[in-house]
Structure 1
Amino acid sequence: MTADADRTDATEGRGRVAVVIGGANGIGEATGRLLAARGWRVALADLDEAAGKAVAADLAAPFFRLDVADRAAVEALPGQVEAALGPAAALVVSSGAFQRNVPAEEQDPAELDRILAINVKGTWYANRAFGVGMARRRAGGSIVNLASTTASLATPLSIYGPSKSAIVGMTRSFAGEWGRAGVRVNAVSPGITLVPRVRARLRSEPGRYGADPAEGTALGRLVEPAEVAETIAFLCSDRASAITGIDLTVDCGWGVSAGWAMYGGVRPAPPPPG
Structure 2
Amino acid sequence: MDGRLANRWRLTVNEKKFIETALASNLRIDGRNPLEYRKIIIKFGREDGSSEVQLGQTHVMGFVTGQLVQPYQDRQNEGMLLIFTEFSPMADPSFDPGHPGEYAVELGRIVDRGLRDSRAVDTESLCVLSGKLVWAIRIDLHIVDNGGNLIDAANIAALAALLTFRRPECTLGGDDGQEVIVHPPEEREPLPLIVHHLPVAITFAFLGSEGKLVVDPTHSEEAVMAGRLIATVNANGDICAIQKAGGEGVPQSAIMHCLQLASMCAISITKKINSARTAQREHCARSSATLLLLAMLV
Comparing both structures, which one devotes a greater share of its residues to helix? Answer: 1
Structure with bigger strand share is 2
If asked which structure has higher relative contact order (CA below 8 Å, sep 6+), I would say 2
Using the size of structure 1 for normalisation, the TM-score is: 0.28
